[in-house]
Amino acid sequence: MVGALVGAYQEDDSGGLRALLPLAGRTLLEYQVRCAAAAGAAPIVVIVERVPQALQDAFERLRLDGLTVIAASDVQDAVSRFEAGSMILMIGDGVAPPAELVAALAEEPEPAVATLPDDEANAAFERIDGESRWAGVALVDTRNLGSTAAILGDWDLQSTLLRKTLQEGALRVPVSDGAAPLLAERAEQLGDFQKRLIASSRGARTDWASRYLLPPVEEVVTERLMETSIRPAWLIWLALILTIAGAVAFARGMLGVGLAFLVLSTPLDIVAARLAALRLRPLPARTPSRLALWPAAGLALLALAWWEARHVPGWGAFITAAAALGFAEAARIEKAIFPADSEIWLFSRRNAIFAAIPFAIAGRWTAYLLALLVYAAVSFFIVQHVRHSASELTRS
C-alpha cells in the first residue's frame, strides 16, 4: 500500500503559493497529485498552512475528476491519515517531476530517494551531501514519518523527513538529465516543462490524415482545451454525435453538410486522448463511445450510398458501399499485427473522410464510392499479403 504526501505551503517569488503556479491548464499541485494517483497512491495528503480560494478550487477540480485529496495543516493529522506499515511517496513543494519517475519510485520495495548531481544546474534543489541533491521525490515509510513528526518542532517536515530517511540507509536513485524534475519558484520556469508535457501527449499517428493534415488543428485545440474543465470523454461523444449527424444529413441529401460534420469529428478522439494524457488519466481503449465511432462512420457511408441509389439508376452505389465496408472491416481486423507507424496509407475512418473532399468539390459522389471500394480492397489485400508473408517466415 502506497500513499502520497505533497507539500503546498512555500511561497513563490510573487508571494503566492508555489503549488498554485500554472501548469498545462491547471496548477502545479494538481499535476503532482495526478502523478501520485497515476502511480497508485492513496490516500493523497497535502500539507498546507492556509487554503486560499485558488487552492480550494484546485481541490474541487481534482474531486470532480474522482481524485480525493486530504488537506492537512497539522503534522499529526497528516500522520494519522496513513496506515501503519505503509509506504509514502513524498513530493517536494514546488517540484514538477516526470510521471515516470514518481511511478518508478512507487514500485521500490524499500525507502528510496531520487537524487541529482550537485552541480550548478541543480543549485535550487536541496543538497544531500557534497555529491548529490534531492530531486524532490522520495519513498518513505510511516514509521519514519511518525517519528519525524514527534521531534519536528519548527523544522520543515519534508526536509526533516528526507534527512531521517537518508540516515537510515535509504536507497539513492540517480535521475538522468533527460528525466530530471523541475523546482519552480515562478511561473516562467514551468514553460519548458509544460512544452515537454504537451509534446509527450502526442500519440502514434496511424493514418495519413492524422499525420499530415490534422496536427496543426490538433495542437491548437489541445492547448485551448487543456485550460478548460471539458472532460476527454465528452469529446469522444461529440465525435460520435457529429458522425451520426453526418449520416442523417447524407440521408436527407445534404451531402456537403454531412461531409462537414464528418471532417469536424476527425480530430476529436485524438484531442481527447491527448487531454487525458496531460491529466495523467488515459482513456480506456475500449470505451463504448470510442468503439462506436467506426460503425457510425459505416452508417454514414451507407446513408450516402442510399441517397445516391435513390437518385442514380440502380442499386450499384449501395452495393459498392456495402462491399467497401466489408473489405474495410476485414482489413481492420486483420491488420492488428501491424506496427502503428506502418499502416498510415491503409484504409481508415479518417482517411476515408478526407478522401471524400475532392470528389465532393467535383460533385462525383458515386465515383467516390467506387474509389473507396478500390481503396478498401487494396488495403485488405496488402494486409493479407503481409500476414501470409509473416506466417511463412515464422514456419521457416
Which comes out higher in pLDDT, residue 272 or 340? Answer: 272
Q: What is the DSSP string of 103-157?
A: HHHHT-SS-EEEEEESSGGGTTSPB-SSSEEEEEEEEEEHHHHHHHHHH-TTS-H
Q: Between the CA of residue 48 and those of 11, 90, 165, 370, what are the distances in Å?
A: 11, 14, 22, 65
Q: How confident is the model at residue 252 (pLDDT cuts 50, 70, 90)?
A: very high
**Smallest Cα–Cα separation from 137: which of 125, 129, 148?**
125
Q: Under the phi-then-psi rule, with left for phi > 0, alpha for psi from -120 to 50, and beta for the rest, what region is 346?
A: beta
Backbone angles phi, psi at 201, to 5 degrees: -80, -10
Mean pLDDT of the chain: 92
Of 1-10, 134-143, 198-207, the range with the lowest mean pLDDT is: 198-207
201-395 folds as Four Helix Bundle (Hemerythrin (Met), subunit A) (1.20.120)
Question: Cβ(290)–Cβ(273) under 8 Å?
Answer: no
Does residue 396 surpass a pLDDT of 60? no
Q: If we measure between CA atoms, which residue out of 142, 131, 137 comes closest to residue 112?
A: 137
Of the candidates 57, 161, 173, 169, the residue with the CA atom closest to the CA atom of residue 108: 173
Give the distance, in angstroms, between the CA of residue 67 and the centroid of all CA atoms in the same chain. Answer: 16
Poorest-confidence range of 189-193, 246-250, 326-330, 337-341? 337-341
Q: Does 7 or 386 have the greater pLDDT score?
A: 7
Percent of the chain, pLDDT > 70?
96
Distance CA 246, CA 237 (A): 14
Tens of pLDDT, residues 342-361: 789 999 999 999 999 999 99
Chain segment 182-199, per-residue pLDDT in tens: 999 888 999 989 999 999
Position 71 pLDDT exceeds 80? yes
DSSP E strands: which ranges in 292-392?
none
Q: How confident is the model at residue 388 (pLDDT cuts 50, 70, 90)?
A: confident
Instruction: Compute how many other C-beta atoms are within 10 angstroms of the C-beta atom of residue 224.
Output: 12
pLDDT at residue 366, as a whole number: 93
Tell me the pTM. Answer: 0.89
- Whether the bond between 284 and the residue before it is cis, its omega within 30 degrees of 0, is no
The string of pLDDT tens digits covering residues 292-334 is 999 999 999 999 999 999 887 777 899 999 999 999 999 998 8
- Total number of residues shown for the chain: 396
Question: What local confidence, expressed as pLDDT, does residue 95 receive?
Answer: 96
Q: How far apart are the C-alpha atoms of 180 and 135, rounded to whole Å?
A: 7
Condensed to tens digits (0 to 9), the pLDDT of residues 160-184 reads 999 999 999 999 999 987 788 999 9
Nearest to 101 by CA among 195, 176, 2: 176
pLDDT at 221: 96
Distance CA 139, CA 182 (A): 18
pLDDT at residue 111 above 80?
Answer: yes
Range of weakest confidence among 11-15, 143-147, 165-169, 172-176: 11-15
By three-state DSSP, how is residue 200 classified?
A: helix
Domain at 2-193, CATH homologous superfamily = Spore Coat Polysaccharide Biosynthesis Protein SpsA; Chain A (3.90.550.10)
Kindly list the domain boundaries of the chain, sorted by start residue. Answer: 2-193, 201-395
Provide the percentage of residues in the chain whose pLDDT is more than 90.
73
Cell numbers at residue 278, please? 496531460
